[in-house]
Structure 1
Amino acid sequence: MSLRILLMRFGIAAAGGALLAFAATTPAAGADQEDPRESKQIAKGEVIARTGVLRGAPTRGGAVVRVAPYGEIVKIYCRSEGQNVSGDRQWHLLVDGTWARGSAQYIEAYRTPRLCA
């Protein structure tokens, strides 16, 4: 093997190692941006219904997106008015990957969520 080829291979290996070290110590692009699901504006709450049906719209006729089990801790993005459920018109928009809505009658918020825009 010629000296020239050996030096080329060494240079490529050194450059690759330097690139790896740089990538390991540099934050990813956008890493300083806050994930909206982890925002300080997110309130947490607990499902207090036996079966917490989460819907796509703030009405009892809205499509069922998923069912949350009793006691599940959920992240509430905001609250808005919707269909009356047992005297309560407040609905929570949940941040769990599905953006489902649940009646405030069945989700007890630990603090009052902000209003939806």
Structure 2
Amino acid sequence: MSLRSSLARLAIATAAGVLAGAVAVTPAAASDDWGAEDASRGVFDSQGGGHHDGHHDARLYQGVVTADRLLLRSAPTRGSQVIRAVHRGDVVSIFCKAPGDKVGGNPLWYLLTDGTWAWGAARFIDNIGPAPRWC
């Protein structure tokens, strides 16, 4: 087994563990309400995990999609199952980053939490604010 294959398997296993723990602790994490803005208050709701009372939730980071169409996948690899697609200008919620297949020379992938948990190549997602933590 090659080092690259071993690293990809380790990243997938680590992400699966993080995902299982996150879902067990915060079952609403995969709902469509992540970061849903409450227009009456002008802040993000506390169940959504975005902003609440002006404080940022340290569990999530944000990014903006730079590709015309970015396929989000079940693992941080180019050949894994496509879960869904996002488009240029979409703002996405990032849970963490992990190494995976290189895309345009960049080996990092982001685990996104917008409605479904899926991996997006970091090459096509620009951070808004701080860089995401490691998975």
Shorter-normalised TM range: 0.5 to 0.7
Q: Secondary structure of 1:89's partner? A: strand
Query: 5+ residue gaps in structure 1?
Result: 1-33
CA distance in 2, matches of 1:35, 1:77: 15
Residue 56 of structure 1 corresponds to 74
Q: Secondary structure of 2:96's partner? A: strand
Q: Secondary structure of 1:105's partner? A: helix
CA distance in 2, matches of 1:35, 1:84: 34
TM-score normalised by L of structure 1: 0.66
- Residue 70 of structure 1 deviates from its aligned partner by 0.9
Of the candidates 109, 116, 127, which is equivalent to residue 91 of structure 1?
A: 109
Residue 98 of structure 2 corresponds to 80
Q: Does 1:115 align with 2:121?
A: no
Of the candidates 83, 100, 106, which is equivalent to residue 118 of structure 2?
A: 100
Cα displacement string for residues 64-90 of structure 1 (whole angstroms, at most 9, x for unaligned residues)? 100101100000000000011111000
Q: Secondary structure of 2:89's partner? A: coil
1:37/1:77 contact within 8 Å kept: no
Which one has a bigger Cα radius of gyration? 1
TM-score normalised by L of structure 2: 0.58
Aligned residues: 83
CA distance in 2, matches of 1:97, 1:51: 17
CA distance in 1, matches of 2:49, 2:79: 26
> Sequence identity of aligned pairs in percent?
40
Task: Return structure 1 stretches of 4+ with deviation > 4 angstroms.
Answer: 34-37
1:37/1:95 contact within 8 Å kept: no
Query: 5+ residue gaps in structure 2?
Result: 1-45, 51-56
Q: Does 1:46 align with 2:71?
A: no
AA in 2 matched with 1:113: P
